[in-house]
Structure 1
Amino acid sequence: MLFNRSFKLANAIILLFMCVYVSKVSAAVLVNETTKISVVEQSDVAQIEALMTSYQDILNNKNVDNVKTVYTADAQFIGDNFPTATGVNNINALYGDFLSKLDFNIRFEILEVALNKDFGFIQTISTGSISPKGNGSPKGALAGNEEANREIFIVKKITNEWQIYRYIFTAELK
């Protein structure tokens, strides 16, 4: 019983330290003091931030070539109003299709990160604009086409790097 309390206290102290540390890190995705973080190793936090920043950049900058770097070979994309895509090649083709038709200007806010040794999840909310190619707002401007999505990223560690294993999202109700 004492071990269980000590373990919980130690985890709480580590979690508090990580929240303070992460809130001081400048990142393209938003991680702040309200982000819930539960990880095995501190280096995982930086890897998750880098993964989410890479994913955000893929969308905002139409970097289709980088899709294969953030997803596992056996990944699944499960999105609201999108067909389910299984496998990195099918996911890459799906991104190639919608990134050729849509302009993205979005930002992810990480709400929660929970990781064990090889698997974990990231809960996010993304906000910004998605508009038909050529009809969108200039970068940084949101003119009437704002939207938000709630996302769950199931991540898997492959050769010491976190990658997206399952990506599930739905539109945020307004």
Structure 2
Amino acid sequence: MSTEESQIRSTLNSYRTHLVASNAAGCAALYTTDGATMAQNFETQVGKDSIEKWYKLCFSMIALDVEFEIREVVVASAEYAFARTTSAGMQRKLASGESTRESNQELFVMQKVGGEWKIARYCFCTMNPPSS
């Protein structure tokens, strides 16, 4: 594994750590200044401030206990890479306490900024079957 791939994996593992800790500021800090997150059922959030507000909104509604599997990391250039991951675990609705299985697939576009790999674009969607 190359140093670049190892650094990208480290960023993704940090993201997972902040996600399960419901740490909106920690999640947002891993993005580039003009980063974007494209979440299922939400409008695209662009820029760290919007991204942090979006995570705060999410963490006010749910808590996650998920594990990431990094399935692919491709370093495309000295500045850009992408990673494909899956995550699985539990999602707890804070209002009701109800827990459900969480299963997603994710695509991260990474950008090297100031010597660090940051999340430039992030998109995810559920792998759970549709509700009947």
Q: TM-score, normalised by structure 2?
A: 0.89
- Could you say which residue in structure 2 is the equivalent of 1:119? 80
Provide the rounded CA distance (Å) in 1 between the counterparts of 2:63 and 2:118: 24
- Pick aligned residue for 2:22 from 62, 75, 90: 62
* Cα displacement string for residues 27-70 of structure 1 (whole angstroms, at most 9, x for unaligned residues): xxxxxxxxxxxxxxx21122112111111011101112212320
Q: Is the 8 A contact 2:29 2:48 kept in 1?
A: no
Q: Which amino acid aligns with 2:4?
A: D
* Cα displacement string for residues 56-109 of structure 1 (whole angstroms, at most 9, x for unaligned residues): 011101112212320001011101112210111100000011112211001110
Would you tell me which structure has more helix in proportion to its own residues? 1
Provide the rounded CA distance (Å) in 1 between the counterparts of 2:28 and 2:106: 19
1:150 aligns to 2:111 (yes or no): no
Provide the rounded CA distance (Å) in 2 between the counterparts of 1:43 and 1:89: 30
Provide the rounded CA distance (Å) in 1 between the counterparts of 2:53 and 2:119: 16
> 1:136 Cα shift?
5.1
Unaligned 5+ residue runs, structure 2? Answer: none
- Could you say which residue in structure 2 is the equivalent of 1:163? 118
Q: Is the 8 A contact 2:79 2:112 kept in 1?
A: yes
Would you tell me which structure has more strand in proportion to its own residues? 2
- Larger Rg belongs to: 1
Q: Which amino acid aligns with 1:51?
A: T
Unaligned 5+ residue runs, structure 1? Answer: 1-17, 19-41, 138-144
Q: Which amino acid aligns with 2:119?
A: I
1:133 aligns to 2:88 (yes or no): no
> For 1:19-168, what aligned pairs fall within 5 Å after superposition?
42-115=2-75, 116-133=77-94, 135=97, 145-168=100-123
Q: CA RMSD in A?
A: 1.4
Structure with larger RCO (C-alpha < 8 A, sep 6+): 2
Q: Which amino acid aligns with 1:130?
A: Q
Moved over 4 A (4+): none
Aligned length in residues: 127
Provide the rounded CA distance (Å) in 2 between the counterparts of 1:74 and 1:148: 27
